[in-house]
């Protein structure tokens, strides 16, 4: 019988109840096996919460959806109608008509096969290569009714005796519910990855609706498989689990600079044009006396080099003040800093130079 417990959230009895199994519906076939079946209290239960009902009419194995109603005169009770439970009926099965055959792949069916009983192992070791096929046939029957049934899991697994590598195949049922495993070793050779040797052939049968599963070594087979070329893996896809070497960054070595004598000679060569200009000015005779000594002239010359205390007679040297600013710009100043200083020096130089030219023009008149 099916026994269920009806209680409150604390697991205590809620008083006398009239519990009825409204329907028991097989989930797979949608067949209603039980309708309006009352449940009885379990006499040996002291908690008064257990109820039982016979489910012998539910003959199909598998899962059933139960609809229950618990009637009570106490109107304070809620959740007593439309309760739904899941029931699973297990069945005991056996495997029969087991036949194993290894035959030439050119043949459609084997000429002979080896029969074996459930959980037994074939005594001899079979031999096969890529020119052979292997076929395993069996039936799964319900022990009580002797009816052939279908199961969720039916596998044939080849286990290598040394490496324990497993190759799994599925046994499929035909229209008569006979399970068949048929393997052409030339077509499935890639699944064995070119690994020859002795394999244990295991048969696994299981289902959520059977009381026990089967897993046993059916037969051993010596299988000769040609080696398979190992696929070349790209370097970018190759996974290395070892410790990688430390990455050391190599910076570019600085270029070798010329000796100091070269830079010294270059400085003197750069000063030669200025020296030549001064010598030529002295030879042609510049009239320094024609330069007025008014304040505007002093401001003009001092604005060129930003040194107000220098003599106006060094006018030609003062003019190099702006070029001195360019030289400092080349060494360390930025463009914006140079423009800032040049705007101040240039503005003062422009105003004082304009004044100087007016004085010179007036003197000529």
Q: What is the pLDDT of residues 249-274, one digit of tens each?
A: 888 888 887 788 887 887 787 778 77
How deeply is 300 buried, as exposed, middle or buried, from its count of CB atoms within 10 A (0-12, 13-18, 19+)?
Answer: buried
pLDDT the model gives residue 71: 82
298-309 average pLDDT score: 44
Q: Could you give the CA distance from residue 192 to residue 225 in angstroms, rounded to a whole number? A: 8
Beta pairing class for 2-5 and 50-53: antiparallel
Per-residue DSSP letter, 236: T
Distances (CA, A) of 169 to 105, 133, 166, 277: 18, 14, 10, 102
pLDDT reported for residue 314: 37
DSSP 8-state symbol, 268: H
Q: Would you state the structure tokens that stand for residue 69, as one six-digit string?
A: 């109603």
Distances (CA, A) of 127 to 117, 184, 221, 325: 21, 14, 6, 99
Beta bridge mates, 94: 141
List, as own/partner pairs, every contact residues 3-7 make where C-beta atoms lie below 8 angstroms and the sequence separation is at least 24, other chains included. Answer: 3/42, 3/50, 3/51, 3/52, 4/39, 4/50, 4/51, 4/52, 4/68, 4/85, 5/49, 5/50, 5/51, 6/49, 6/51, 6/70, 7/47, 7/49
d(CA 256, CA 327): 25
Name, in order, each residue with C-beta under 8 angstroms of 304's C-beta and a sequence gap of 6 or more: 318, 319, 320, 321, 322, 345, 349
Position 131 scores a pLDDT of 92
Provide the pairing of β-strand 214-224 with 126-129.
parallel
Model pLDDT, residue 164: 92
For 269, the 3-state DSSP assignment is helix
> Residues 224-245: pLDDT tens digits?
998 877 777 787 787 888 888 8
Per-residue pLDDT at 309:
33
What domains does the chain contain, in order, with CATH numbers?
2-89 (2.60.40), 93-224 (2.60.40.10), 266-364 (no CATH)
Contacts (Cβ under 8 Å, ≥6 apart) of 208: 63, 88, 152
- Are 192 and 198 within 8 A, CB to CB? no
Determine the pLDDT at residue 252. Answer: 83
Q: pLDDT of 82-118, one tens digit each? A: 788 888 888 899 999 999 999 998 888 888 899 999 9
Q: Cα–Cα distances in Å, from 262 out to 6, 227, 331?
A: 107, 73, 19
The DSSP 8-state label assigned to residue 20 in this structure reads E
Average pLDDT, the chain: 81
For 64-76, how does the pLDDT look when each residue is reduced to its tens digit (9 = 90+)? 988 888 888 777 7
Confidence of residue 316 (pLDDT cuts 50, 70, 90): very low
DSSP state at residue 217: E
Q: pTM score, two decimals?
A: 0.56
Does residue 45 contact residue 31 with C-beta atoms inside 8 Å? Answer: no
């Amino acid at each position: 019988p099916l026994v269920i417990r009806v209680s409150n959230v604390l697991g205590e009895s809620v008083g006398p109840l009239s519990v009825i199994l409204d329907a028991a519906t097989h989930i797979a076939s949608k067949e209603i096996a039980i309708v309006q079946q009352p449940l009885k209290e379990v006499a040996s239960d002291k908690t008064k919460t257990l109820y039982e009902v016979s489910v012998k009419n539910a003959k199909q194995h598998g899962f059933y959806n139960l609809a229950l109603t618990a009637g009570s005169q106490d109107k304070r009770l809620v959740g007593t109608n439309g309760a739904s439970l899941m029931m699973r009926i297990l069945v005991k099965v056996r495997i029969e008509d087991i036949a194993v055959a290894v035959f030439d792949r050119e043949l459609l069916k084997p000429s002979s096969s080896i029969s074996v009983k459930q959980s037994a192992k074939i005594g001899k070791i079979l031999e096969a290569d890529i020119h052979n096929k292997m076929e395993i046939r069996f039936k799964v029957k319900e022990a009580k009714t002797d009816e052939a049934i279908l199961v969720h899991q039916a596998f044939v697994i080849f286990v290598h005796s040394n490496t324990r590598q497993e190759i799994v195949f599925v046994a499929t049922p035909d229209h008569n519910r006979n399970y068949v495993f048929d393997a052409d070793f030339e077509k499935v050779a890639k699944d064995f990855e070119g690994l020859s040797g002795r394999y244990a052939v295991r048969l696994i049968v299981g289902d959520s609706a059977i009381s026990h599963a089967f897993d046993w070594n059916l037969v051993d087979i010596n299988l000769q498989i040609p080696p398979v070329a190992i696929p070349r893996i790209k370097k970018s896809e190759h996974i290395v689990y070892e410790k990688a070497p430390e990455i050391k960054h190599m910076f570019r070595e600085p270029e070798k600079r010329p000796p100091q004598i070269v830079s010294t000679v270059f400085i003197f060569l750069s000063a030669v044009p200025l020296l030549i200009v001064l010598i030529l000015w002295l030879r042609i005779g510049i009239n320094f006396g024609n330069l007025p000594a008014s304040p505007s002239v002093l401001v003009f010359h001092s604005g060129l080099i930003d040194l107000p205390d220098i003599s106006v007679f060094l006018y030609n040297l003062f003019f190099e003040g702006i070029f001195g600013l360019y030289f400092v710009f080349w060494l360390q100043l930025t463009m914006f800093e140079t423009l800032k200083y040049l705007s101040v020096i240039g503005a003062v130089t422009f105003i004082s130079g304009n004044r100087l030219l007016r004085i010179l023009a007036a003197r000529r008149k």
